[in-house]
Amino acid sequence: MSNVAELARLVEAGENVKAVAEAERLFLSGVSVQNILTEGLVAALRALSHKCTTENFQLLDVLLASRAMVEVIDQVVAQEIENGMDRIAAMHEARMDGDNCKKTLVIGTIEGDVHDLGKHLVATVSRISGIRVVNLGKDVPPQAFVDAAVRERAHIIGVSSLMTVCLPSINKIRPLAEKSGISPVIVAGGAAAQQVEKGYLDVDYVAFDVFDGLNYFTKLPYLS
């Protein structure tokens, strides 16, 4: 059997080696990157929600699935996009044009939140699409986003949040940026951010997934 549901099953079960092999098979049989990411990887992780609550936290299961997902992204998906075997850019009008090369994205997961798989995926896909990416990691204070944006002359700040309680920290980024004399485009993503409006977070855009985010980054004009 070689299908996306099987990949999702393997990732959910934490079978990293088999998941990598299954993803390779799926690409060879012509399945798209978007399908593999959405139906295979993200769906598998989301299916583990019930094992990741305050009452029921099955850490090992979730971490093994997380590892399997990262290995599929780093060993197969990144390679696949780089090889240009899948027309991800064309599909999402995210062209690897000259302008992307001039854009710098500073990205991180907001303070208090250690979820970094979605952010890792966005960083990987953006980098491959020609955007210069500075990955600040997880549990990043608002001021650290701004300091990095100043230091790196970043055009875009990408902030991820999967924890509802951490959302209020996102609102601090814009005033801190203005205080530092910069006005970057601020884009939020992640399961918690997606549940609120951009005005609530004081950001320019809330992306519903990696492709939506990349499409938005790519359409932004380059500001010198």
Helix (H, G, I), strand (E, B) or coil at 63: helix
12 interacts with ligand B12 by CB under 6 A = no
Of the candidate residues 46, 87, 151, 153, the single one contacting ligand B12 (CB under 6 A): 46
- The one among 162, 170, 185, 201 contacting ligand B12 by CB under 6 A: 162
Q: Is 172 left (phi over 0), alpha (psi -120 to 50) or beta?
A: alpha
- Residue 182 interacts with ligand B12 (CB under 6 A)? no
Beta strands in the chain, from DSSP E residues, in sequence order: 104-109, 132-135, 156-160, 185-189, 205-206
Query: Rule CB under 6 A: which of 90-109 touch ligand B12?
Result: 107
Under rule CB under 6 A, residue 209 binds ligand B12? yes
Nearer to ligand B12, 28 or 155 (CB): 155
* Candidate segments 44-52, 74-82, 96-104, 172-180, binder of ligand B12 by CB under 6 A: 44-52
Q: Token digits for 206?
A: 């809330």
Q: What span, in angstroms and rounded, lies between the C-alpha atoms of 51 and 14?
A: 13
Exposure b/e, 47-73, CB count within 10 A at least 16 = b: ebeeebeeeeeeeeebebbbebbbbbb
The answer to whether the beta carbons of residues 58 and 29 sit under 8 Å apart is no
Find the part of the chain contacting ligand B12 (CB under 6 A) among 10-18, 85-93, 182-190, 196-204: 182-190
Closest distance of CB 76 from ligand B12, Å: 15
Question: Closest distance between ligand B12 and the C-beta of residue 194, in Å?
Answer: 6
Tell me the H-state helices in 29-136: 33-35, 43-46, 59-72, 78-83, 88-91, 98-101, 117-128
58 binds ligand B12 (CB under 6 A): no
Interface segment toward ligand B12; rule CB under 6 A; list 27-35, 76-84, 160-168, 170-178: 160-168
In whole angstroms, how far apart are CA 24 and each of 34, 67, 77, 128, 157? 14, 17, 9, 19, 32
Supply the minimum distance, in Å, between the C-beta of residue 84 and ligand B12.
21
CA–CA dist 74, 68 (Å, integer)? 10
Nearer to ligand B12, 53 or 83 (CB): 53
Residue 13 as a binder of ligand B12 (CB under 6 A): the answer is no
Contact set for ligand B12, span 111-150 (CB under 6 A): 112-119, 121-122
Residues 38/14, Cβ–Cβ less than 8 Å: no
Residue count of the chain, please give it: 224
- The binding site for ligand B12 (CB under 6 A) comprises 42, 45-46, 48-49, 52-54, 57, 59, 62-63, 66, 107, 112-119, 121-122, 158-160, 162-164, 187, 189-192, 207, 209-210, 213
